Amino acid sequence: MDLRSMQHHDRSEEVDVVVVGTGAGGAPLIASLAARGLRVVALEAGANSEPGEHTPDELEGSDINWMDERLSGGGTPTAFGPNNSGRGVGGSTLHWGAFSPRPDARDLRLRTTTGEGVDWPVDPAELTGYLERVEDFVGVAGPEHYPWDPSRRYRMAPPARNASSDAMIAGCEAVGITATDAPVALSTEDRHQPHFGLRQACVNSGSCHQGCRAAAKVSMDTTYLPFAVAHGAEIRPDATVTGIELDARGRVAAVVYVQEGRELRQRCAALVLAAGGVETPRLLLHTGLANGSGQVGRNFMAHPAVQVWGRFDTPMRSHRGYPSSIISEDMVRPDGADFAGGYLMQNLGVMPLTFATTLVRGGGLWGRSLTGAMDDYAYYSGAGINGECLPSEGNRLTLADETDALGVPRARIDFTAGANEDAITAHAVPVLRSILEAAGARSTMVLDRTAHTIGTCRMGDDAATSVVDAHGRSWDVPNLWISDNSTFPSSLTANPALTIMALSLRTADAMLAA
Ligand SMILES: Cc1cc2nc3c(=O)[nH]c(=O)nc-3n(C[C@H](O)[C@H](O)[C@H](O)COP(=O)(O)OP(=O)(O)OC[C@H]3O[C@@H](n4cnc5c(N)ncnc54)[C@H](O)[C@@H]3O)c2cc1C
Ligand code: SF4
């Protein structure tokens, strides 16, 4: 993004707020606070780029992913790298898929309604107001009539369907499942984004996960961050935070970061950590802060995200066109389920390297079976889920003995899917398979996987069992706030980014009111 006319602050000046990270959790808050006249400095470990610099090449495109090593353990280790988080001005929204369902109100009351998991300390109606603010500002396309929430309105028509979308619609119709165009955070018409300029209508290139060259896909560097900079915020790219300094009263006084090999500090009156579900708890464990509850790093969650791929007789070329254009919410609370919560379904289209990696990791394919499946790549179409993951204290991020190049211990994440997640996957596989078979798939294969990095600094109403309060403020360090997907007390069935952005605006309002 264009940072040329950006305001600069002196490091010796005490700015009002330093924000670590410029993704979905950081950017809306940075924009809100700057618009209200606060002096905000955002420190971002990754580089700044322009949309036109993105490339659909999967190998070259990985420079927008967080590729630093993370240690992954447990019974069902999570895959990191391109599967899990981003790096750069814009964070993970540089490479996200822009599939943007709203959270289901029942998921925010999971404990009350099912006896499992936890309730969120957030009023669903209040959250909806923030979701609508985000949708209005960034632009979300969707169907004219949303079957599971008739009150909802999307202002832009959905993107064009591809062969894989058509297959999912046909298969769902045949087996009696309701499916429609998904809510997606991209423009389907040329759009003037305030302080950024023209975001072109989606050209259906299918390379959303490598970054959108047309700026059609919502990314923080084409929406909230240009707005923030126009209102005086400063963004420092390539600046990795390694330490936090406290004053004599135990409040944050300054942040230590490394930029161009130099260790620097920025004084601040308040600090917001928006570094994501792995780097935020890692920084807190490294500095020993905000962990009076002992909950930092605990309750790591990853959505069950099993995929079923069908081999069709005719080419599907599911990598062409916007990849996740169909949704079904029929299984958010399926009848007769033996688990708490439920799952969303969507169609899939992936680039070849991602497909190959998932065949290996999720399907155990190797040698001739792998090359055979890749030979048929163009004939495959897939459908997958995003399912509830219950919080569990044993699923935990800790610090490893190894350190990174800046001397910070690496994160180790141990994750084992629980009985509830296994039951969701077991329920979903035959449903997905029946959809693909009804659409004409000759054979199917199941690729197991999880998605997203959630939890680790949960919000709550009780300082003994949560890291931050219901608005993201640390119970232990009053001028430290967290705004990213680490604060989720449970995973929700909805994909997370829209909710993260909404909570980010809500945390900004709480900071302004404090
Ligand atoms: C391939 C893929 C597809 C996805 N598709 C979807 C989708 O379709 N829909 C959806 O809702 N979600 C999707 N997600 C998930 C979604 O993108 C993330 O959940 C969300 O963007 C996370 O936002 P965040 O602000 O918590 O963290 P991030 O966006 O990851 O932001 C953290 C930022 O902090 C920076 N940072 C970290 N540590 C430091 C440090 N020490 N110092 C300075 N900066 C630091 C990072 O570089 C990064 O820019 C997808 C994720 C992946 C990987
Ligand atoms: S499919 Fe559309 S939103 Fe995705 S990268 Fe291409 S132009 Fe951008």
**Residues near 458 by beta carbon (within 8 Å), at least 6 away in sequence:** 118, 295, 298, 299, 391, 465, 466, 467, 468, 486, 487, 488, 489
- C-alpha distances in Å from residue 18, one per residue of 5, 13, 213, 459, 504: 20, 12, 29, 21, 14
The whole-number average pLDDT for the span 13-23 is 98
The number of the ligand nearest the C-alpha atom of 188 reads 2
Cβ of 270 less than 6 Å from ligand 1 = no
Using the predicted structure, report yes or no on whether residue 229 has a pLDDT greater than 80.
yes
Cα-flanking dihedrals φ and ψ of residue 348, to 5°?
A: -130, 145
> How many angstroms separate the alpha carbon of residue 274 from the centre of ligand 1?
9
Cα(370) to ligand 1 centroid in Å equals: 30
Judge whether residue 84 has pLDDT over 80: no
Judged by phi (left if over 0) then psi (alpha if -120 to 50, else beta), residue 317 lies in left
Closest ligand to C-alpha of residue 199 is: 2
Strand partners, 243: 256
For the cut 80, the answer to whether the pLDDT of residue 349 exceeds it is yes
Q: Give the pLDDT score at 60.
A: 87
Q: How far is CA 59 from the centre of its chain?
A: 21
Residue 89 CA, ligand 1 centroid: distance in Å = 11
Average pLDDT over residues 101-122: 97
| CB of 44 sitting under 6 A from ligand 1 | yes
Interval 482-503 mean pLDDT: 98
Closest ligand by atom to 320 CA: 2
Does ligand 2 have an atom closer than 6 angstroms to the CB of 40?
A: no
| E runs forming strands in 274-393 | 301-304, 307-311, 326-328, 343-348, 380-387
Nearest residue to 504 (alpha-carbon basis) of 47, 19, 36: 19
Two structure tokens written together for 491: 């995973």
Q: Which of 20, 64, 92 to mutate to test the pocket of ligand 1 (most atoms within 8 A of CB)?
A: 92
Residue 82 confidence class, pLDDT cut points 50, 70, 90:
confident
| Lowest-pLDDT choice from 116-120, 254-258, 273-277, 319-323 | 319-323
Task: Give the separation between CA 322 and CA 346, rounded to whole angstroms.
Answer: 12
Average of pLDDT values for 72-79? Answer: 95
Torsion of CA 381, 305, 449, 432, to 10 degrees: -40
Q: Whose CA is nearest to atom 12 of ligand 1?
A: 497
- Count of CB atoms within 10 A of residue 454's CB? 25
Give the ligand at the shortest distance from the Cα of 99: 1
d(CA 508, CA 514): 10
- pTM of the predicted model as reported, rounded to 2 decimal places: 0.98
State whether the beta carbon of 96 lies less than 6 angstroms from ligand 2.
no
Pocket test for ligand 1, best of 69, 70, 85, 140 (most atoms within 8 A of CB): 85
C-alpha–C-alpha distance, residues 474 and 489, integer Å = 15
What is the share, in percent, of the chain residues with pLDDT greater than 70?
100
In tens, the pLDDT along 453-471 reads: 999 999 999 999 999 999 9
CA distance 491 to 303: 7
Q: Is the pLDDT of residue 83 over 90?
A: no
How confident is the model at residue 508, as a pLDDT? Answer: 98
Q: Give, for 398, the enclosing helix (H) or strand (E).
A: strand 396-403
Q: If pLDDT is split at 50, 70 and 90, which confidence band does 81 have?
A: confident
Q: Mean pLDDT across the chain, nearest whole number?
A: 97
Cα distances from 211 to residues 157, 208, 306, 347, in angstroms, run 22, 5, 24, 20
Q: 94 CB less than 6 Å from ligand 1?
A: no
Q: What is the pLDDT of residues 372-416, one digit of tens each?
A: 999 999 999 999 999 999 999 999 999 999 999 999 999 999 999
Pick the closest to residue 97 from 183, 181, 161 (CA basis).
Answer: 183
Using the predicted structure, report yes or no on whether residue 189 has a pLDDT greater than 90.
Answer: yes
